[in-house]
Amino acid sequence: MTSLQPTAPTRLIDPTVLARIGDLELVARVVVEGIINGLHRSPHLGSSMDFAEHRAYMPGDDIRRIDWKLFARSDRHFIKEFEADTNTNFTALVDTSPSMYYGGSVEGGVTRSLSKLDYARYLAACLAYLASTQRDRVGLVTFDSQIREYVPPSAKHLNVVLHTLDRLSEAPMPTDVRTGSSAGGARVVPPALADVTRRIGESFRRRSIVLLISDLYEEPTAVLDALAYLRGKGNDVIVFHLLDRRELEFPFTDSANFVDLETGERMPVIPDYLRAQYRTLVAEHVATLGRVLGESRVDYALFDTSKPLDHALFRFLANRERMRQARMTSRA
- Torsional class of 63: left (φ above 0), alpha (ψ -120 to 50), beta (otherwise): alpha
Q: What is the DSSP letter of 66?
A: B
Q: Are 124 and 165 in contact (CB under 8 A)?
A: yes
Q: What is the DSSP string of 153-201?
A: EETT-HHHHHHHHHHHTTSPPPHHHHH--------S--HHHHHHHHHHH
Please identify every stretch of the chain with a pLDDT value under 70, giving residue numbers as ranges: 1-13, 38-53, 60, 81-87, 105-112, 170-191, 324-332
Neighbouring-strand partners of residue 213 = 94, 240
Q: Residues 6 or more apart from 240 whose CB is under 8 A from it?
A: 120, 123, 211, 212, 213, 214, 301, 303, 316
> Which ranges constitute the DSSP H helices of 22-97?
24-39, 68-74
Report the distance separating Cα 32 and Cα 169, nearest Å: 21
Please tell me the total count of domains within the chain: 2
For position 225, what pLDDT does the model report?
93
For position 85, what pLDDT does the model report?
42
137 located within any domain? yes
Report the distance separating Cα 66 and Cα 83, nearest Å: 16
4 located within any domain? no
| Residues 91 and 79 placed together within one structural domain of the fold | no
Report the distance separating Cα 125 and Cα 132, nearest Å: 10
| Residues 101 and 132 placed together within one structural domain of the fold | yes
Q: Which amino acid is located at 171 in the chain?
A: A
**Which uninterrupted H or E stretch holds 138?**
strand 137-143
Range of the domain at 255: 15-43+87-331
Report the distance separating Cα 121 and Cα 167, nearest Å: 10
For residue 213, give the CATH number of its domain.
Answer: 3.40.50.410
**Which uninterrupted H or E stretch holds 311?**
helix 309-331
182 located within any domain? yes
Q: Are 154 and 176 in contact (CB under 8 A)?
A: no
| Residues 56 and 186 placed together within one structural domain of the fold | no
Q: Residues 6 or more apart from 224 whose CB is under 8 A from it?
A: 292, 293, 296, 298
For position 52, what pLDDT does the model report?
54
Collapsing DSSP to helix, strand or coil, 103 comes out as coil
| Residues 171 and 70 placed together within one structural domain of the fold | no
| Residues 268 and 121 placed together within one structural domain of the fold | yes
